[in-house]
Amino acid sequence: MARQRIGYFENRQDPENICSRCRMCELMCAFHHHQVGNPRRGRIKVIALGQGEDIPVTCLNCEDPPCMNICPTGALYRKTADGMVQVNEDICIGCAMCLNVCPVGAITLDPVDGVASKCDLCQGEPQCVTYCPASVLKMTDAGQFARYRMKGFAKFLQTVREDQ
Amino acid sequence: MSFFAGGYAGQILYVDLTDGSIQKKPLDREFALKYIGGRGFSSRILLDELKPGIDPLSPDNLVILATGPLNGTPTPSASRLTVAAKSPLTGALGDSNSGGYWAPELKYAGFDAIVFDGRSSEPVYLWVEDGKAVLRSAKHLWGQKIHQTSELLKEEVGDDDIHVCAIGPGGENLVRYACVVTDEESVGGRTGVGAVLGSKLLKAVVLRGAQDVRIADPKRFKEAIDAYRETLVGEVWTETLRRLGTPNLVAHRQKLGIWGAKNFQRATIDGWEKISGEAFREKFLLKVMGCMGCMVRCRRYSAIREGPLAPTYTKGPEYDTINALGAKTYVTDPAIILRAHHLCDEYGIDEQTAGSSIAMAMELYERGILKKDQVDGVELVFGNGEALLHFIEKIPFRKGFGDLLAEGTKIMGQQLNADYYAIHVKGLEVDASDPRSLPTRALTYAVATRGSCHLRGFPYIDEFIKPEEAMAFFGTPSVSDLHGLEGKGKMVAWSENWVTLADLMGVCKFAWYRSRSFPMLIKRGLELMNDIFVATTGLPMNSEELYRCGERVYNVEKMFNLREGFGRESDYPPLRFFKEETPDGPAKGAKLNQEEYDRLLDEYYEARGWDKKTGIPTPEKLRSLGLP
Amino acid sequence: MRQTENESEKFPPCGYGLLGLCCSACLLGPCRLSPFEKESERGLCGDNRDLIVAKNLLRLTMVEAVGVMKSLKETVEKCADQNLTQHSKKRPTQRVEEGLAEKYGFSPKISSKQMAQFLIKESRNLLSPFPESKGSLLSSLYPEKAFPSIYRDNFLSESLTSLLSESMNFGQRKLSEAEGILWKCLQISMHTLISKELRHDLQYLIDGEESSDKDKKALDILGCLPSKPSPVIILLSSEDAPFNELIKRMANEFEQNLKGVSLLIPITEDASLLNTGRRLFKKWSLSVPEVNAIVLISSKSATPVLGALILGFHVASFPPLPIHGSGRVEKFFFEDFKKRFGNNYFPSWQEDLFSSILEFLRGRI
Amino acid sequence: MDRKIFFHPERCMLCFSCVLACQMNSLGISEVNKIPRDQEPFQRISINFTHGTPWVWKCQHCVSAPCIEACVSGSLRQKEEGTGVVHQPETCVGCGSCLLVCPYNALEYDEKEERMIKCNLCCDEEVPPCVKACQTKALVYREPNLFAWEKKKEFVLEMRRVREAD
């Protein structure tokens, strides 16, 4: 199976099926990993662009992850070849180089422990997916996400044809 | 630093604006156990620290921003902030409750509540970050609207990820019903706390926090919130609220014929479909939004994309928007309602009082009590949307006739000696619906401790409680009868205590009490909430004790009002409801009956354990609640 | 409050640029030699830092020169294809011609047409790579007595174009001497100034009103010079110059500190420097270096600074020339120059600039 | 959490202004015209091509820094408040053990004084000179999580552009 990650699947036609910035994902993520309420320790973040544009962002689990490649201590690692990139808190020195190279800024420094913290898919059952009230967050992989986009584009083409 | 196992941040921030001194006081454990948080804290602090009979806009008044123990935890819909002060609009206890993201952020920044005292010599704003607080000059922000204010602040801080609680021009110009706006869209509207902030020259409170809100017993907490979620998903009310938001009530009001249209001269609206929840969803809804950790997601985000008023992007509308700016003024153009709502939020004035005041002015104008030259030559008649927008632009700056409108209906009535047309209780306008056909609701609105309010109690129980449940719980089946009176006083008292808990915990009432079965209310409101509370804070608590906390706080508020001189006579609905019959609609001909109402009130006082003549809580009652 | 970055200024000044050590001459570059590396360090093309600094300066002057040439060319064409005689009827005053005639040493009766033809010929010489004949212009306009320094080792050339073309391959050629390049810079800027002045005069002939009227008025002060030679302070700054306020303040300070001795001449056109020198010479029949005239220049371009220097004025320029990168070039400007012609270039960044200039003037009174 | 220096390789044009600024700061000079010809400056920041990308190498101010543990004289320590590894040259003995453990080779040995030199974030200034000098804002001075947040925002804006396409 391909590399898993958290994907954002929205449906612009249905106002209920778009991220509604309730930030439940952030809260549950922080709660699951640290047993506290503190969104800034969550590994997923809802970015608000204003005018009703909100999009959650988290690790894309890149094919060739820069964070893992640059990590000087090997604190970032993959258990299996197609597994999620994970952080070994014990050997992370908090040099923040992974922050610097991450293309989407999915890695943060934990404000309390001061080690790199990133999405680890909660060992298989992601809390953000379970608790998302709009159910726009799904476990996915690059291929599936691409298919989803294609579908959206196909729909668009359809409308164009209908217009003519 | 906090000795609480979880939930509370354990600190209260006291800011004296006069000399700019800032001090942190640890939160007392007993205090927390007695008053839980939110409204409990604010009411108690106001009762203790305010001198009786002070001018609400004087430096002596306090402004309290308080959160509950559950704010900041992943509890569903635990997002509510309580802003409180002695109200400049009513002179009684004034508090208002808003959602959004600000209350949790205050916990992350390390405080349970902020208390503002005194008056600053120049405009300032308070910057709070991770337990550190500092006052900064806000000269450059003074006079800015809500959005500009937070834009400027974000630029100044160099971070978009901050949370701003600000007042608009309304608050600066001491409009008596100015509101406090958090995160640009969540409005603590009623009772005009914004004006008090304005009088203190405090423009904004800006937060950024990364501190933990600890949870005493994570395992139990997880189970509790999962159970709580279960009660929410698949709940009829939740579904409706998500689909239509509070505007779904429009249809309901029309069905029962309890609109307060045309300043309560009509009970139904012709062409109400245009302003129904469906209509707004069809035409304007961009997407459904939710406050922090919300499972219900009743918040709308709407946009006017074409027409003369485009582009307007705004949160809302809520039912009360439509009621105040639409029904009362009889403006049935949804776009204008939305625009007016947007302007109210931008200028930071309470749309409900604003709508009511304008509606009252419209009636006075139509009755010839107000002359055209008095109202700046505007054709101020019902249904005139331009007039509505015109004055909403004027009120925040107290321009022209806006100066009088900015005083609220009570003072308008006194100045134009037209008290009869001022539809308010204790100075706060009747908002939700026309209670003439439903005395129980009249009672709820009338006895509410902040003036007429439909969120202080939960009279709607009678819409769905089953007779046997009523028999079992309130000792009379007539509680389940929509128009029956017996046992209603008791029911109202119970619902008030019970609803108060939501404000204490900082949980949203829509996740809390919107339900279609009475047992569910008990389960969710008391048992589950008790579970979550205990799991979060690790404090000893049980559902009975929790209920008594609600009752205690309510009595504290009553004591505050009594001290400010609001006795039994102030627990009556406006005269109009006794004199005039409901003109039309299903409830045609209904009006309140003096004897009936007195009986209800007596029953209510009895259930509360208050003196029937004066409404003063009896000593034994207070003792039983552990109130000195 | 909390400054996250260099929001304060959009583009912080580039240190290498100010030093003159950033070379973008070839496609291999840009080369940036660190001022801290040892002298031996070289750019990719093999130039050492002295050459890079010098060539940067040369590039600067050449670019400016080309601009001036263009405008001169346009004026000449404009002037050539209109009939001046009948045009002159419309002109209210003859003052301009008289001024010019007197300046170029013609009889006052000369018609504007002839004068124009003469000027055009001279301009053509300057513009064309192959000057027709050795015109009498330069020698008459810039007498050796007034400007001795420009008569050293056939400094004056007939044609600016040929100068530029020489300098072109100068820029290319390897192992050229830094000093040689700097000479070219001076030469070019000198001729640039000359072309500018020619252009102005032609402009007068075409349309009577005088483009640099301000300067003319300012120069009239020279009329009321004391009979006894005394130091002169000249302010050269265009409106948009960066350090206007600064040099104005300095000049005023000088005036206060040296009562009655020195006098200020604010001018805006660098071409007016030539005229100034000439007038000074007329007045006291002293060469410019002897007069001790000091020019405070605030300008974005290098031409006025170099021009003023080679004309023999003492110069303090704001901002300074970008030459700090190379000790050799600095030496050339600060020492060699003084040795050869006796006029100094005051580096404007030194703290005691003001006092040193003051001292200098005091010594000359 | 305290601010750190972060680097946007896509913005860097290799102008070396940061290096010059760092060197000048080490000699306590502010204007280029005052650069002396005789003194040897320190350079605590360096640019080179790393896998074909320009990259600025400097002290990353690790939260749990190995150099601090390695230091024998205790002259390397965390800042009192927040994070940031500061070095006191006075007590440094120049044993170079920090150099051995530093993953970024961010320390330099000063033969003259026989001690180490490293980036102290120019603690006395609001913004480090290297960041101030950067011509293209490739160097930024930010809280780590704010930096990550901004990157997320860029990414989201990109996503939105894509979404508007279909």
What pLDDT score does A35 carry? 93
Helices (H), B200-268: 218-232, 236-244, 249-256, 261-264
Identify the domain boundary among B208, B235, B264.
Answer: B208
Q: For chain D, what is the domain count?
A: 2
In a domain, B135, yes or no: yes
Q: Cβ separation of D155 and A103 shorter than 8 Å?
A: yes
Give tens-digit pLDDT for B408-430: 999 999 999 989 999 999 989 98
Task: Please check whether residue D77 touches C, CB under 8 A.
Answer: no
Query: Lowest-confidence range among B139-153, B164-178, B495-509, C159-173?
Result: C159-173
Question: Residue A162: in which H helix or E strand, if any?
Answer: helix A142-163
From C7's Cα to the closest Cα of chain B, the distance in A is: 10
Give tens-digit pLDDT for B593-626: 899 899 989 999 999 999 988 889 999 999 999 8
Spell out a b/e string for C135-167, using b for 16 or more CB atoms within 10 Å of the CB, else e: bebbeebbeeebbbbbeeeeebbbbbbebbeeb
Do B76 and B136 fall within a single domain? yes
Which domain, by its residues, includes B535? 453-572+593-624
Count of Cβ atoms closer than 10 Å to residue D105 Cβ: 11
Count of A–B CB contacts within 8 Å? 96
Q: Are B183 and B164 in contact (CB under 8 A)?
A: yes
Q: Are C64 and C301 in contact (CB under 8 A)?
A: yes
Q: For chain B, what is the domain count?
A: 3
Query: For testing the chain B interface, which of D2, D142, D146 should be mutated: the one with the most B CBs within 10 Å?
Result: D146
Percent of chain B with pLDDT over 70: 100
Give tens-digit pLDDT for B127-165: 999 889 999 999 999 999 999 999 999 988 888 889 999
Do D53 and D91 fall within a single domain? no
User: What fold does the segment set A5-163 form as a domain?
Assistant: Alpha-Beta Plaits (3.30.70)
Residue in this structure with the two tokens 């950790």, named with its chain if needed: B293
Whether C112 shows a pLDDT value over 50: the answer reads: yes
What pLDDT score does C94 carry? 57
Do B407 and B262 fall within a single domain? yes
Task: Please check whether residue B130 touches D, CB under 8 A.
Answer: no
The closest CB to that of B293, out of A27, A41, A51, belongs to: A27
Identify the domain boundary among D118, D135, D157.
Answer: D118
Whether A1 shows a pLDDT value over 80: the answer reads: no
Query: Lowest-confidence range among B2-16, B70-84, C89-103, D101-115?
Result: C89-103
CA distance B597 to B568: 12
pTM over 0.90: no
Do D37 and D65 fall within a single domain? no
Query: Lowest-confidence range among B9-23, B111-125, D61-75, D108-122?
Result: D108-122
What pLDDT score does B457 carry? 87
Do B561 and B414 fall within a single domain? no
Task: Please check whether residue C104 touches D, CB under 8 A.
Answer: no
CA-nearest residue to D150 within chain A is A105
Task: Please check whether residue B616 touches A, CB under 8 A.
Answer: no
What pLDDT score does C210 carry? 56
Do D39 and D114 fall within a single domain? no
Q: Where are the domains of chain A?
A: 5-163
Do B169 and B252 fall within a single domain? no
Task: Please check whether residue D162 touches A, CB under 8 A.
Answer: yes
Do B287 and B189 fall within a single domain? no
Whether C88 shows a pLDDT value over 60: the answer reads: no
Identify the domain boundary among D100, D118, D136.
Answer: D118
Chain D residues whose CB is inside 8 A of the C36 CB are 23, 35, 40-41
Which chains share 3+ C-beta pairs under 8 angstroms with B?
A, C, D
Q: Look at residues C278, C248, C286 and name the one whose alpha carbon lies nearest to residue C265.
A: C248
Q: Are C202 and C119 in contact (CB under 8 A)?
A: yes
- Average pLDDT of chain B is 90
Q: Look at residues B291, C71, C135 and name the one whose alpha carbon lies nearest to residue A54.
A: B291
CA distance B326 to B269: 10
Q: Cβ separation of A35 and B295 shorter than 8 Å?
A: no
Whether B455 shows a pLDDT value over 70: the answer reads: yes
Which domain, by its residues, includes D39? 1-57+122-166
Query: For testing the chain A interface, which of B130, B289, B297, B314 should be mutated: the one with the most A CBs within 10 Å?
Result: B289
Averaged pLDDT, B499-526 = 84
Residue D100 CA: distances (Å) to CA of B2, D43, D60, D61, D85:
42, 19, 16, 16, 16
First to last CA, chain C: 52
Q: Cβ separation of B156 and C4 shorter than 8 Å?
A: no
Whether B228 shows a pLDDT value over 70: the answer reads: yes
CATH number reported for the structural domain that contains residue B28 in this entry: 3.60.9.10
Q: Are C296 and C249 in contact (CB under 8 A)?
A: no
Chain B residues whose CB is inside 8 A of the C2 CB are 156-158
Q: Cβ separation of A15 and B288 shorter than 8 Å?
A: yes
From D154's Cα to the closest Cα of chain B, the distance in A is: 13
Whether C268 shows a pLDDT value over 70: the answer reads: yes
The closest CB to that of B288, out of A16, A37, A41, belongs to: A16
Q: Cβ separation of A37 and B297 shorter than 8 Å?
A: no
Do D9 and D51 fall within a single domain? yes
Do B199 and B250 fall within a single domain? no
Q: Are C183 and C194 in contact (CB under 8 A)?
A: no
Q: Edge-to-edge, what's the strand order for the sheet holding B180-182?
A: B132-137, B124-129, B202-208, B163-166, B180-182, B186-188
In a domain, B620, yes or no: yes
Do D19 and D41 fall within a single domain? yes
Task: Please check whether residue B161 touches D, CB under 8 A.
Answer: yes
Task: Please check whether residue B19 touches D, CB under 8 A.
Answer: no
Do D10 and D51 fall within a single domain? yes
Q: Cβ separation of A24 and B74 shorter than 8 Å?
A: yes
CATH number reported for the structural domain that contains residue D86 in this entry: 3.30.70.20
Q: Domains of chain C, with CATH numbers?
A: 49-206 (1.20.1270.30), 213-364 (3.40.50.2030)
Whether C103 shows a pLDDT value over 80: the answer reads: no
Confidence of residue C92 (pLDDT cuts 50, 70, 90): very low
Do B620 and B481 fall within a single domain? yes
Q: Are B134 and B127 in contact (CB under 8 A)?
A: yes
Confidence of residue C6 (pLDDT cuts 50, 70, 90): very low
Task: Please check whether residue B569 touches D, CB under 8 A.
Answer: no
DSSP annotation of B323: I
Averaged pLDDT, B277-297 = 90
CATH number reported for the structural domain that contains residue B419 in this entry: 1.10.569.10
Interface of A with D (CB under 8 A): 12, 40, 45, 47, 49, 53, 55, 57, 72-73, 92-97, 99-100, 102-109, 111, 114-115, 149, 152-153, 155-156
Q: For the complex shown, is ipTM > 0.95? A: no
What pLDDT score does C213 carry? 63
Which chains share 3+ C-beta pairs under 8 angstroms with D?
A, B, C
Do B161 and B270 fall within a single domain? no
In a domain, B189, yes or no: yes
What sign does the dihedral C257-C258-C262-C263 (CA atoms) show?
Answer: positive
Do B393 and B460 fall within a single domain? no
What pLDDT score does C346 carry? 84
Q: Cβ separation of B159 and D153 shorter than 8 Å?
A: no
DSSP annotation of B565: T
Q: What's the token pair of residue B517?
A: 């079965």
Q: Looking at this protein, which amino acid is placed at residue C345?
A: Y
Query: Lowest-confidence range among A91-105, B225-239, B294-308?
Result: B225-239
From D132's Cα to the closest Cα of chain B, the distance in A is: 16
Give tens-digit pLDDT for D52-98: 889 999 999 998 899 999 999 999 988 877 678 999 888 999 888 99
Q: What's the token pair of residue A132?
A: 């998302």
Chain D residues whose CB is inside 8 A of the B161 CB are 146, 149
- Per DSSP, the residues of A31-80 read HHHHSEE-GGG-S-EEEEEETTEEEEE-----SS-HHHHH-SS--EEESS
